[in-house]
Homo-oligomer: A and B are copies of this chain.
């Protein structure tokens, strides 16, 4: 059996490793190898693989057999390439020993510089460089790093000694310490080392190197690194690699220096060379931020030759990696060294510009450009943010609490504790933040006018979160540190009491709640956004619709590229005004079908008008309208004073009303009297809604507006149930058409959100013209999980923080193995009965990229999501098609039909 290769050399314009071997060599090691291969000036060195780290831990922290020899061989090779020897008392080779895993873990892993110095070689270095100060400074840095990192000695002891030396020599800054003082400090450091370790500081460079290698491996399992990987959800890595690289020094005088640059501007994406440079400095000086770095333009002036060389490297690297690179370099006495390069992080706006520019420049193709944009980049484009001028410290001082960041973006305004007060103040022109323990459909009016919403309870799929997400409105939920006392009109948080009218700021990006109004800024849409989205549209097979309940939402959705409405919830319309609310409440309280009809007759013109507005906004695009869905008790006030007020207004006794509320109360409302069950028991509701929809459609068509209504029955569980609903819908439709003397094409379909409907999909599809998956409810029922309650135990199930039962929250990302199978079964059975059955999804998952990938693979026709997520869905749909290798040829801009696989 061939011996496993543990070490990979690079140097002298050759490298054993490849740029693609990140998993084996780590990001840094692979980058150094690749850059060496393409002829860039990289210091020589070698990489010990991540596999060694894995073996090291698997064998109880022992190095694998053969490693020592292999390292020794590569060290010799390094000495040959550099022409120096480690520990050479005259002209010693110095090396850095650095970690480097396959994924970047900034600040988590250890590095030791200047290794190879000892009491003898430091003298040689001083002589060779004719710079004793430089040599002793390098030595004292090495001793400290080695002591702290490799031996775990307390950093403070060294820092204190350093400070004492500075005091003694009246040096305000490090560079003011003279060479002699540094030499004394080296001795002092060695004393501290000896005292704590009970043995002298190692003089043997080999011993130093093995100590450093062990230190790097050790840092892989250090608590902070393990925690970091957990938090960042980094899994599946074998370990860290170790890079032993020849040291180069940017602090050897004015012809030396060090810098960091981006091949393009990472904040705007503009194609300009962008970076910072410090003369006579080492990398850590740049990071420490003590000195103000120079712009690259200044470098061009000072070191024109080196700058030209660097500019060539910039072009070479960007072409080679086909993306913007973040480059670290050092100039040692006029000679340029590239120490590291990696894909450059960028702002969302820059991401668009870079992708489009690179495609236009021919560096990448359009497919690659589309793949380059992360869905979160889009989301972050749209939301206002707290002005970046506010420092972290200022934020910390103002922060009252932190909740769950349900909808990103920031909002500021006056606190209000009731929806009513929100509406009152908003009408008076105030900006308000609605603060509730939790929200209910009654609060929707107030939620709509608020700048942002803050609740003490609930998770990312609570009522507040779902409704706010639909509007792209800042929302923080589950802020448990918040004690809301609506009766007293105050809230307590962070030891403070805030009252109605007090200013507050929400940052939906991280869930922070701040006292006072912080300044907010609204990022603009980058110019390249439209271009890139049009490319994405050309690739995707899935159509993208929006969930929109109002003409306002509908216009918004169209502006963001929605090709129809996939879910228009009719019940929110009932809360839109006092008058409507009263009518629906009268309907519910009514004891007879006749009284219900009377109340419904009042609602009819309102609903009709709403639909007219929506059809206008969507002219020529389909609008799927879901008939009433929530249980009726959600429409009635639950508190006694409000009940009394309502009773007075609709002319019944408070006792009667209370009793009615009591009657309607349900143990498990999710599984209760709601959805189409309401239309079965109160067919007059269905009649009113269908009449309003189709009268609106007829009126629109008369005015030349192409209304395309798709009437959707929610919560269907059986084909006979659907047959009753469909027959009644068509009967009412015929009545409307006869009365109006005009027909309008329309569809009648169903939601698939009850497991039984999945099983009966074949029979249901014999009558249903379309299916729309309500994956919120389907997830709840298939998994036996109430999303209102699951917050209490679902965290124990999800991800590494939980028991890992589920990788992701099934309410955010469709549970492929369970709910997903149901979706597939329903599609298969539905299309067996009705080939080409139109199928979409309108649950929260419709805007989640992973779920969109699933929908694409499952063969759906469209996804529907909140207007603000429409661009995300368009992009994710394109990426799903690209990933599946079945992207459409880029011909039509807005595909409406599903891509058919060969």
Which residues from chain A sit less than 8 Å from chain B, CB to CB?
A: 666-673, 677, 680-681, 715, 717-718, 720-721, 724, 753-756, 759-760, 777, 780-786, 788-790, 792-793, 796-797, 803-806, 815, 817-819, 821-822
Whole-angstrom distance between the Cβ of A497 and the nearest chain B Cβ = 19
A717 closest partner in B (C-beta)? B783
Is there contact, CB below 8 Å, between B724 and A760?
no
Q: In the complex, which residues of chain B have a beta carbon less than 8 angstroms from the beta carbon of A793?
A: 673, 677, 680-681
For the complex of A and B, list the 6 residue pairs with the smallest distance between their C-beta atoms, beginning with the closest: A668-B786, A671-B786, A756-B818, A667-B788, A754-B784, A672-B789
Instruction: Report how far A817 CA is from B755 CA in the complex, Å.
Output: 12
Whole-angstrom distance between the Cβ of A672 and the nearest chain B Cβ = 4
Instruction: Report how far A782 CA is from B781 CA in the complex, Å.
Output: 7
A756 closest partner in B (C-beta)? B818
Is there contact, CB below 8 Å, between A667 and B782?
no
Whole-angstrom distance between the Cβ of A525 and the nearest chain B Cβ = 39
Is there contact, CB below 8 Å, between B669 and A789?
yes
Q: In the complex, which residues of chain B have a beta carbon less than 8 angstroms from the beta carbon of A822?
A: 755, 759
Instruction: Report how far A783 CA is from B681 CA in the complex, Å.
Output: 17
Instruction: Report how far A681 CA is from B756 CA in the complex, Å.
Output: 30
Q: In the complex, which residues of chain B have a beta carbon less than 8 angstroms from the beta carbon of A666?
A: 786, 788-789
Is there contact, CB below 8 Å, between B718 and A786?
no
Instruction: Report how far A819 CA is from B759 CA in the complex, Å.
Output: 9
Quick one: which of B754, B803, B817 contacts A680, CB cutoff 8 A? B803
A-B contact pairs, 7 of them (CB 8 A): A670-B671, A671-B671, A672-B790, A673-B789, A681-B793, A721-B805, A755-B784
Whole-angstrom distance between the Cβ of A751 and the nearest chain B Cβ = 11
Is there contact, CB below 8 Å, between A797 and B755?
no
Whole-angstrom distance between the Cβ of A788 and the nearest chain B Cβ = 4
A777 closest partner in B (C-beta)? B784
Which of A753, A805, A817 counts the most chain B CB atoms within 10 A? A805
Whole-angstrom distance between the Cβ of A57 and the nearest chain B Cβ = 24
Whole-angstrom distance between the Cβ of A681 and the nearest chain B Cβ = 5
Known: A667-B669, A720-B805, A759-B818. 19 other contacts (CB 8 A): A668-B786, A671-B780, A671-B786, A671-B790, A673-B793, A681-B796, A715-B784, A717-B784, A717-B785, A717-B818, A718-B805, A724-B805, A754-B782, A754-B783, A755-B784, A756-B784, A756-B818, A759-B821, A781-B784
Q: In the complex, which residues of chain B have a beta carbon less than 8 angstroms from the beta carbon of A680?
A: 793, 796-797, 803
Which of A789, A818, A822 counts the most chain B CB atoms within 10 A? A789
Which of A667, A680, A715, A790 counts the most chain B CB atoms within 10 A? A667
Is there contact, CB below 8 Å, between A818 and B785?
no
Instruction: Report how far A760 CA is from B782 CA in the complex, Å.
Output: 11
Is there contact, CB below 8 Å, between A667 and B717?
no
A779 closest partner in B (C-beta)? B756
Q: In the complex, which residues of chain B have a beta carbon less than 8 angstroms from the beta carbon of A784?
A: 670-671, 715, 717, 753-756, 777, 781
Instruction: Report how far A780 CA is from B777 CA in the complex, Å.
Output: 13
Whole-angstrom distance between the Cβ of A536 and the nearest chain B Cβ = 33
Which of A671, A760, A783, A806 counts the most chain B CB atoms within 10 A? A671
Is there contact, CB below 8 Å, between B759 and A789?
no
Q: In the complex, which residues of chain B have a beta carbon less than 8 angstroms from the beta carbon of A670?
A: 667-668, 670-671, 784, 786
Is there contact, CB below 8 Å, between A806 and B671?
no
Q: In the complex, which residues of chain B have a beta carbon less than 8 angstroms from the beta carbon of A756?
A: 782-784, 815, 818-819
Is there contact, CB below 8 Å, between A721 and B668?
no
Whole-angstrom distance between the Cβ of A671 and the nearest chain B Cβ = 4
Q: In the complex, which residues of chain B have a beta carbon less than 8 angstroms from the beta carbon of A821?
A: 759
Instruction: Report how far A815 CA is from B757 CA in the complex, Å.
Output: 13
A817 closest partner in B (C-beta)? B760
Instruction: Report how far A803 CA is from B721 CA in the complex, Å.
Output: 8
Is there contact, CB below 8 Å, between A797 and B721?
yes
Q: In the complex, which residues of chain B have a beta carbon less than 8 angstroms from the beta carbon of A724?
A: 803, 805
Instruction: Report how far A793 CA is from B756 CA in the complex, Å.
Output: 17
Instruction: Report how far A352 CA is from B792 CA in the complex, Å.
Output: 55
Instruction: Report how far A847 CA is from B783 CA in the complex, Å.
Output: 27
Q: In the complex, which residues of chain B have a beta carbon less than 8 angstroms from the beta carbon of A720?
A: 803-805
Q: In the complex, which residues of chain B have a beta carbon less than 8 angstroms from the beta carbon of A672?
A: 786, 789-790, 792
Q: In the complex, which residues of chain B have a beta carbon less than 8 angstroms from the beta carbon of A717?
A: 783-785, 818
Whole-angstrom distance between the Cβ of A797 and the nearest chain B Cβ = 7
Instruction: Report how far A715 CA is from B797 CA in the complex, Å.
Output: 14
Q: In the complex, which residues of chain B have a beta carbon less than 8 angstroms from the beta carbon of A796?
A: 677, 680-681
Whole-angstrom distance between the Cβ of A760 and the nearest chain B Cβ = 6
Instruction: Report how far A669 CA is from B670 CA in the complex, Å.
Output: 10
Instruction: Report how far A501 CA is from B721 CA in the complex, Å.
Output: 47
Instruction: Report how far A673 CA is from B791 CA in the complex, Å.
Output: 9
Instruction: Report how far A724 CA is from B822 CA in the complex, Å.
Output: 25
Instruction: Report how far A804 CA is from B715 CA in the complex, Å.
Output: 18
Instruction: Report how far A806 CA is from B756 CA in the complex, Å.
Output: 13
A802 closest partner in B (C-beta)? B680
Q: In the complex, which residues of chain B have a beta carbon less than 8 angstroms from the beta carbon of A817?
A: 759-760
A670 closest partner in B (C-beta)? B668
Whole-angstrom distance between the Cβ of A629 and the nearest chain B Cβ = 12
Q: In the complex, which residues of chain B have a beta carbon less than 8 angstroms from the beta carbon of A759?
A: 782, 817-818, 821-822
Is there contact, CB below 8 Å, between A781 and B804?
no
Instruction: Report how far A806 CA is from B797 CA in the complex, Å.
Output: 37
Instruction: Report how far A780 CA is from B754 CA in the complex, Å.
Output: 10
Q: In the complex, which residues of chain B have a beta carbon less than 8 angstroms from the beta carbon of A755?
A: 755, 781-784, 818, 822
Whole-angstrom distance between the Cβ of A459 and the nearest chain B Cβ = 12
Whole-angstrom distance between the Cβ of A35 and the nearest chain B Cβ = 43
Instruction: Report how far A477 CA is from B793 CA in the complex, Å.
Output: 34
Whole-angstrom distance between the Cβ of A638 and the nearest chain B Cβ = 12
Instruction: Report how far A753 CA is from B672 CA in the complex, Å.
Output: 18
Q: In the complex, which residues of chain B have a beta carbon less than 8 angstroms from the beta carbon of A718?
A: 805-806, 818
Whole-angstrom distance between the Cβ of A125 and the nearest chain B Cβ = 58
Quick one: which of B669, B760, B797, B805 contacts A668, CB cutoff 8 A? B669
Q: In the complex, which residues of chain B have a beta carbon less than 8 angstroms from the beta carbon of A715?
A: 784
Instruction: Report how far A15 CA is from B234 CA in the complex, Å.
Output: 89
Known: A803-B724, A805-B721. A673 touches B783 (CB 8 A): no
Whole-angstrom distance between the Cβ of A438 and the nearest chain B Cβ = 9
Known: A755-B755, A796-B680. A668 touches B788 (CB 8 A): yes
Is there contact, CB below 8 Å, between A789 and B671?
yes
Q: In the complex, which residues of chain B have a beta carbon less than 8 angstroms from the beta carbon of A760?
A: 817-818
Instruction: Report how far A724 CA is from B804 CA in the complex, Å.
Output: 10
Whole-angstrom distance between the Cβ of A122 and the nearest chain B Cβ = 56
Q: In the complex, which residues of chain B have a beta carbon less than 8 angstroms from the beta carbon of A804?
A: 720
Q: In the complex, which residues of chain B have a beta carbon less than 8 angstroms from the beta carbon of A669?
A: 667-668, 786, 789
Whole-angstrom distance between the Cβ of A833 and the nearest chain B Cβ = 15
Whole-angstrom distance between the Cβ of A456 and the nearest chain B Cβ = 12
Q: In the complex, which residues of chain B have a beta carbon less than 8 angstroms from the beta carbon of A786?
A: 666-672
Whole-angstrom distance between the Cβ of A262 and the nearest chain B Cβ = 43
Whole-angstrom distance between the Cβ of A843 and the nearest chain B Cβ = 15
A806 closest partner in B (C-beta)? B718
Q: In the complex, which residues of chain B have a beta carbon less than 8 angstroms from the beta carbon of A673?
A: 789, 792-793
Q: In the complex, which residues of chain B have a beta carbon less than 8 angstroms from the beta carbon of A721?
A: 797, 803, 805
Instruction: Report how far A666 CA is from B821 CA in the complex, Å.
Output: 28
Instruction: Report how far A720 CA is from B798 CA in the complex, Å.
Output: 11
A631 closest partner in B (C-beta)? B789
Q: In the complex, which residues of chain B have a beta carbon less than 8 angstroms from the beta carbon of A753?
A: 784
Whole-angstrom distance between the Cβ of A704 and the nearest chain B Cβ = 41
Instruction: Report how far A672 CA is from B785 CA in the complex, Å.
Output: 6
Q: In the complex, which residues of chain B have a beta carbon less than 8 angstroms from the beta carbon of A819?
A: 756
Instruction: Report how far A783 CA is from B677 CA in the complex, Å.
Output: 12
Q: In the complex, which residues of chain B have a beta carbon less than 8 angstroms from the beta carbon of A668?
A: 668-671, 780, 786, 788-789
A720 closest partner in B (C-beta)? B805
Instruction: Report how far A797 CA is from B777 CA in the complex, Å.
Output: 21
Instruction: Report how far A780 CA is from B666 CA in the complex, Å.
Output: 14
Whole-angstrom distance between the Cβ of A739 and the nearest chain B Cβ = 27
Instruction: Report how far A893 CA is from B457 CA in the complex, Å.
Output: 59
Instruction: Report how far A669 CA is from B753 CA in the complex, Å.
Output: 19
Instruction: Report how far A715 CA is from B721 CA in the complex, Å.
Output: 29
Whole-angstrom distance between the Cβ of A765 and the nearest chain B Cβ = 15
A680 closest partner in B (C-beta)? B796
Instruction: Report how far A760 CA is from B817 CA in the complex, Å.
Output: 8
Is there contact, CB below 8 Å, between A785 and B681?
no
